[in-house]
Each structure stands twice: as structure tokens, then as C-alpha cells.
Amino acid sequence: MGDPLYVQKGFGLKAQIRELLQDDYHSQIVDVLRERGFRLRLGDIEFRLAREFGFCYGVDRAVDLAYETRRHFPGKTLYITNEIIHNPYVNKRLVELGVRFLDGEDGYTIDDVTADDVVILPAFGVTTTQLAALRTKGCVLVDTTCGSVMNVWRRVKQYARDGLTSVIHGKYAHEETKATASQALELGGHYLVVRDKDEAQVVCDTITGGPMALGREAFAAKFERGSSPGFDPAQHLERVGVANQTTMLSTESLEIADMLGKAITDRWGADELPRRFRSFDTICSATQDRQDAILELGTQGDLDLIIVIGGYNSSNTTHLAAMSGRFAPAYHIDGPDQIVSLERITHQPYGSKARVTSEGWLPPGPVTIGLTAGASTPNRTVGEVVTRILELRGVACDLVPTAAPAPGKGGEPLPIVR
């Protein structure tokens, strides 16, 4: 019998929560888009949806588990350590279901948790320190950590066991990367978080004595928030294993792994490489699929613009936005209300942490709009964005095509329910 205070597999309530999940997250217009080959022409607007978009398997599971937990413990105080996923709509719905966040923003912290309560752990996982603190409470823990995140944890733990420092391509402040780094420490290992190729180059030069090499103090200052306590580059970069936050840009992760492998070879010689360097691509398949799909959509080449939908703090969404910008003007928005008018849109440009409002985002006349959504974006939000654009252009929202169209064409209209 499993630990009654630690739940990973749900409560067998899928049937009971199905309707609520449908109401909260489903979109009929997205279903239609999908059924019709990911293209939909209405009026003089053609929407083209990336073939992989929106909720991934990990987010699906986390949201299901959270809803099941609410249903199973209707009278209990229910907490979640921080955002279950990086999507404002999903987190708002959880608040409406009575879930409290333990990130301190609403005044709740781990200190408030009692043995009578239930705490949900998010899809990104939590640090080993947070988990230990929660376990001392004697409360029920519902762990929604994604299997792909746990796969990264297995890698870094193995590195630590084998005496390699984990070099994690990720964002040091991201919940997932913090949790992964904490796993490396558990077994007495060390870690270093590199955000991009520029930071990786500093690390490589420090290994080889190249032009950007840093001494211990300067290195500690540069990587202050992304390295393990007592990190000594002279010692802890002698043997490294590369891993990544599951939602990074996969091409960049692979390049960083190559850079580090080359630096180790330059410093120690090719014969030493197997002993001093390891790398596993731990980008999850859902992230990879969404990145591949936006490449496929973008290379079709005739999009007037691309709308990328997802939380502004969603790592995988920001990478989709970066990729989209190579093909057409790309606007990363977190929901339909960011589309202010036919002329104005509020969005977050890639590389910026601030939102801006741009003019002239939607060309007049016939237009082809690419759409994609991050792994934490519900279909409902995607559908609402489509509806918002149609409304602004005065195209009736109750029209969708019927039969499958010829390739590249829209179809005949038919009323839909929503």
C-alpha cells in the first residue's frame, strides 16, 4: 500500500471532473480548426494553426490532478506551492476553485500549512528543501511533477553520483530549474545554470583559458544565482554533465552541449572526453513537437503575421515567439483581451520582460494569420483569440466550415454552438 500522504496517481475521479474541464478549457472552434487540417478561412481571414500546440501531456495531467484533488477533498484547505503551470487563466480558475498559492503573494507561505491541509506540487516540481519542509507538516501532498521533469532529475542525480558537475541550460529563477538544481545538491554534487550561448562561452573559456575566462571570484559574481554553494570553476568544471530545463530552445541546448564538449576536449584531450563529459538532451518531446510545428508552419512562407498565445512567464511560449519572429511579425499575447482593437495589440516582444502596445498589427484586406500556443495554454484561450479577431473584423463568429476543404482552401459555413 502506498503512502496515503503522498499522491501521484489521482483519485479515480476523471469521469466526475470531465464536464468541468470541458467547460473550462475546451474550444469548439479549435476542434474545427484541427478537424479541417489546421486551416480555417472565414470572410477574408485565413487562420493556420500549428499542428502541435497548447496543453502538453504534463500540463494535462497536472490540471486533471488538481481538479480531482478539489473534488476528492471538498472541505479541506487546498494549497499549491506556486503556479501549477505558467498560464494566468488556469491559475485564476484554480483560485476560483478555492486553491491558495503558497508563494507569499496572497499572504500564504509554507508556515501556514497544517496536517489537515492538502498541498499540490506543480508540474515543474519543487526543490528538495520545499519538499522536506512540506513533509514535516504531515499534510497530504498531491504531486503533479511531470515525468519529463523527473527524467532530468534522474540525469543530474546520476551526474552527481558519478562526480560530474551538472551544467543546466535553463533560467536560474525558473521553478523547474531550481528544482533540478536542488536534485544535484542532494547527493553532494554541484551545478551551474547557463542561460544561453553567451554564458556558455564564458564557461567554455574558463575551462580552456580562453579570452573570456574568469577567475573564481569573478566567476562566482557572474553566476551568483545560478551556481551551487562553494562553486570553484577550477575544480568543478573539470568534469561536467549537460542537462536542460525541459522547455528551452532545443537547437540552443544542443549547441551549448557541443560547445562544452569541445571545451573539455581542448582542455584535456579527446581521450579524456568520455570520462569528463556527458550530455543528454532533456528537452521534453512536447516542447520539441511544438517547436517543430512552428517551423513547419513558418516555412510555408505566406503568413502575414503569427499570434503566439501563452503566459508571459512561460518559457516554452517565449521560445515559440522567438522562432515565429523569423517568419513573420510575431505577437506573443496571453489572451484575447490583449488584442485592443483592429489597430492596436498589447504583446511581449521576445527578449523583453515588458509588454508593449503596437499599432498596425493586422493588415487590412485578406490576411493569413498563423497561430500557435505554449504547452500551458488551454484551447479555450486559443479559441477566444480567434473569436476576438473575427469580431473585430466583423466576421460572424457562428460560422465555421463544414466539409474538409481542398488543400489551402476554406470551406462552406455552418453554425456552431460556441
Point out which residues bind ligand SF4 (CB under 6 A): 56-59, 123, 146, 148-149, 246-247, 284, 286-287, 316, 375
Specify the residue, 40 or 131, whose C-beta has the smaller distance to ligand SF4: 131
Tell me how far, at minimum, the Cβ of 336 lies from ligand SF4, in Å: 23
Q: Which amino acid is at 95?
A: V
Q: How far is the first Cα of the chain from the last one, in angstroms, to the nearest whole number?
A: 45
Specify the residue, 148 or 228, whose C-beta has the smaller distance to ligand SF4: 148
Tell me how far, at minimum, the Cβ of 225 lies from ligand SF4, in Å: 22
Specify the residue, 119 or 179, whose C-beta has the smaller distance to ligand SF4: 179
Specify the residue, 84 or 118, whose C-beta has the smaller distance to ligand SF4: 84
Q: How far, in Å, CA of 411 to CA of 394, rounded?
A: 18
C-alpha cell at 205: 573559456
Q: How far, in Å, CA of 64 to CA of 56, rounded?
A: 12
Using the CB atoms, write b or e for 17-28: b if 16+ within 10 Å.
Answer: beeebeebbebe
- Residue 104's contacts (CB-CB under 8 Å, 6 or more residues apart) are none
Tell me how far, at minimum, the Cβ of 58 lies from ligand SF4, in Å: 2
Tell me how far, at minimum, the Cβ of 401 lies from ligand SF4, in Å: 31
Tell me how far, at minimum, the Cβ of 257 lies from ligand SF4, in Å: 18
Specify the residue, 149 or 328, whose C-beta has the smaller distance to ligand SF4: 149
Q: How far, in Å, CA of 351 to CA of 332, rounded?
A: 11
Q: What is the 3-state secondary structure (H, E, C) of 291-356?
A: HHHHHHHHCCCCCCEEEEECCCCCHHHHHHHHHHCCCCCEEEECCHHHECCCCEEEECCCCCCCCE
Specify the residue, 134 or 284, whose C-beta has the smaller distance to ligand SF4: 284
Q: Are 212 and 202 in contact (CB under 8 A)?
A: yes
Strands 191-194 and 118-121: unpaired
Q: How far, in Å, CA of 144 to CA of 150, rounded?
A: 11
Which residue number has the CB closest to ligand SF4?
58
For residue 137, which phi and psi values (nearest 5 degrees)?
-75, -25
Q: Which of 170, 123, 120, 130 is nearest to 147 (CA)?
A: 123
Q: How far, in Å, CA of 190 to CA of 193, rounded?
A: 10
For residue 227, which phi and psi values (nearest 5 degrees)?
-140, 160
Specify the residue, 49 or 248, whose C-beta has the smaller distance to ligand SF4: 248
Alpha helices in 2-127 (DSSP H): 14-25, 28-35, 57-72, 88-96
Tell me how far, at minimum, the Cβ of 316 lies from ligand SF4, in Å: 6
Q: Which amino acid is at 393?
A: R
Tell me how far, at minimum, the Cβ of 322 lies from ligand SF4, in Å: 16
Run of H or E including 18: helix 14-25
Q: Which of 52, 83, 175, 176 is catalytic?
A: 176
Residue 359 is among the residues annotated as catalytic for this protein:
no
Q: Are 414 and 405 in contact (CB under 8 A)?
A: no
The residues annotated as belonging to the active site are: 176
